[in-house]
Structures are given as structure tokens and as C-alpha cells.
Amino acid sequence: MITEDPSGGTNNELAIERAAVDYALGYPFIYRTDDGRFLTLDEAWDELTPDLLAGLPAGEQVIDGGDVEALIFESGVFATIEVESQIVTQYSDARTRWTNDQLREQVFLTSDHGDLSFEDWLSAQVQAGVLKPVDVLQFVGYEDEDADEETVITERLIIEEPEPS
């Protein structure tokens, strides 16, 4: 089970708006902060920009994404982790979110599903509104240089942008 947090998120997880997903999918790094959070380039930019600009003369208080990326790499202000990103579908009952494997092993096996296959049972649960599919952006890589295999380093619940009011 991914979480029992009513928000549907893991402790380290943030949401990401669907409009930002394509950029995150194409960017090969995430950044780990000293306090253990993982940031996309845009989030790293947001955290760095005020500190970087504060001491610069007014004419130099403009930086672009390439400058921020170079600063992160050169200064080591954040740990840089090479990742591949992917979108996966998970399922939620509004309290808990599960991967397919977790649903199969933890819920399906212990539920009264008659002679339905897992796929048929899952489809019936979604159609009945018991489970809702949710898209998640996962960042997969080697968390540190000693890791033997790739793992999901962090993930973001993909949310739709609010309608303008």
C-alpha cells in the first residue's frame, strides 16, 4: 500500500500539475536537498533563485534555467540524481493508494471476488466507483552510487490544473 494518508500522497510526495509533466518526463535529473526532499529542476530553481539573487547587483539579478542547472552541478548545493521518468496508473479508494501489484497481493487475494480474474475484478471496482485510477509520475534511478539496482526514488501525483475563475 502506497499510503494511508488521506491526501493520497506519500510522505515525501508532492503533486505535479499535468502541464509540467512533459518537461519533467524529458529532464534526466532530480535533486535531493539536505533535508531529504527531492526536487525537479523547476522546484530547485524556485528554492535557489531568492538566495542567489539576494546578493547580486541589480543588473545581474537575472538568471535562466541553464545558469541554475550549471550552478547546481558546480556548487553541489543539491545532490544530483540521474533518473528516467515514467507515468504509471495506481488506484485509490480516497484513503489509500495502491499499485497493481499491491492491489493483487493485498486486496484481491483477501476479497470475495467469486471467480473473477484480477483484471475483471479491478475493472468492476473502477466501474462501481470503489477505486479510482490516478496517474503518478515516477522518477526511477539509482538513489546513490552504491545502489545495486534502480528503484523508484520518488513520485508525484499528477493533478489537473484548476479551472480559471
Res 76: pLDDT:
76
Number of domains composing the chain = 1
Q: Is residue 4 part of a domain?
A: no
Instruction: Convert 45-84 to b/e letters by CB count within 10 Å (16 or more is b).
Output: bebbeeebeeeeeeeeeebeeeebbebbeeeebbebbebe
Residue 3 reports pLDDT greater than 80: no
* In-domain check, residue 10: no
pLDDT of residue 48: 74
Q: Does residue 100 sit within a domain?
A: yes
Any domain includes 165: no
Which carries the bigger pLDDT value, residue 130 or residue 52?
Answer: 130
Dihedral sign from CA coordinates of 142, 143, 146, 151: negative
Classify burial at 44, counting beta carbons within 10 Å of its beta carbon; exposed 0-12, middle 13-18, buried 19 or more: buried
Q: How confident is the model at residue 8 (pLDDT cuts 50, 70, 90)?
A: very low
Residue 7 inside a domain? The answer is no
Q: pLDDT tier at 67 (50, 70, 90 boundaries)? A: low
- What pTM was computed for the model? 0.76
Residue 116 lies in a domain: yes
pLDDT band per the 50, 70, 90 thresholds, residue 163: low
Give, as one character, the DSSP assignment of residue 13.
Answer: -
Condensed to tens digits (0 to 9), the pLDDT of residues 20-52 reads 898 889 899 999 998 999 999 888 888 876 665
In whole angstroms, what is the distance from residue 116 CA to residue 111 CA? Answer: 11
Per-range mean pLDDT, top range of 1-5, 111-115, 116-120: 116-120
Q: How confident is the model over 129-157, as a mean pLDDT?
A: 92
C-alpha cell at 93: 479508494
Which residue has 533518473 as its cell numbers?
A: 83
What is residue 125's DSSP assignment?
A: H
Q: 63 or 105, which is more confident?
A: 105
Domain that holds residue 151: 15-159
Q: Per the domain annotation, does 146 fall within a domain?
A: yes
- The SS3 call for residue 112 is coil
In a domain, 86, yes or no: yes
